[in-house]
Amino acid sequence: MLTIGFLGGGNMAAALIGGLLKEKTEDLTVHVVDHHAEKLAKLEALGAKTHAEPGDWITACDLLVLAVKPQTMKAAVEPIVKLLNPKGAALSIAAGIEAGVLSGWLGGYPLMRAMPNTPAMVGAGIAGLWSPKGMDESLREAALRVLRAGGEVVEVKNESEIDLVGAIPGSGPAYVFRFMEALEKAGLKRGLSEESAHALALGTVYGAAELARVSGEEFSLLREKVTSKGGTTAKALEVMNRLDIDRMMDEAVEAALKRTAEMKALFR
């Protein structure tokens, strides 16, 4: 029997809870605490045991998922230190708070860090998981089970790599949505209806991603297969390369990493 608790019932927690409870297995109990009655009502409808305040139920949790905002994390975890299961562990999905800092707030409690992303809300997420050496294997597996409820999981070897997970797949959906906005605007500017421009931009990105996933081929090879020498695609790519799309994405990721470093410094 596995008991998982969620500290916070926001969108990401709700996505993971919903995915977990779709399993309909008898070996799993999910608890969640949140101060918003509307969120709790929705989660209770999914099958979670809901709470307005921390309590003894926390002691029953093998894994406690810390799913509150970074700026409210310390205030949220300090009251629960005495309630923690001595044989359990915590999984933080908050950006910008290092394991050493957060574990300290929890009185030295074992801690793993993960970074899921918003497509987990439709079961199409990709998350990174870091677990320290010596972490109980059953608790690591429990963390993987939680994250797989939202999609795929990549395990990273070093905690610092979680920052990269945050800057690439964590923030990445916004990068893709921004590209989709630009593609849609280009269509609108040239006379497409809003409905057509939106559908074409969405279908282009979805189809390309699905083709890449199913084929397993390198992105560069897939690009080459679409590009005829001297054709329309080649001319469009010449513009993207002239404007240095590689540099743009590199600087975007670097900016996200810089902001993560600033956040980490605030919590130390």
What DSSP character marks residue 157? S
Q: Residue 130: beta bridge partners?
A: 113
Residue list for the binding site for NADP(+): 7-12, 67-70
- What is the distance between the terminal CA atoms of the chain, rounded to a whole angstrom? 36
Kindly report the number of other CB atoms within 10 A of residue 218's CB atom. Answer: 10
**Alpha-helix runs per DSSP H in 24-157:** 37-46, 70-77, 99-105, 137-148
In the chain, what's the furthest Cα-to-Cα distance? 69
Alpha-carbon distance of 256 to 167, in angstroms, equals: 5
| Distance, CA of 70 to chain centre | 14
CB 42 within 8 A of CB 102: no
Residue list for the binding site: 7-12, 67-70
One-letter amino acid at 113 equals R
108's CB contacts (< 8 A; 6+ apart) are none
Alpha-carbon distance of 149 to 125, in angstroms, equals: 9
Kindly report the number of other CB atoms within 10 A of residue 125's CB atom. Answer: 24
- C-alpha radius of gyration, the chain, whole number: 21
Tokens (6 digits) for 170: 């964590």
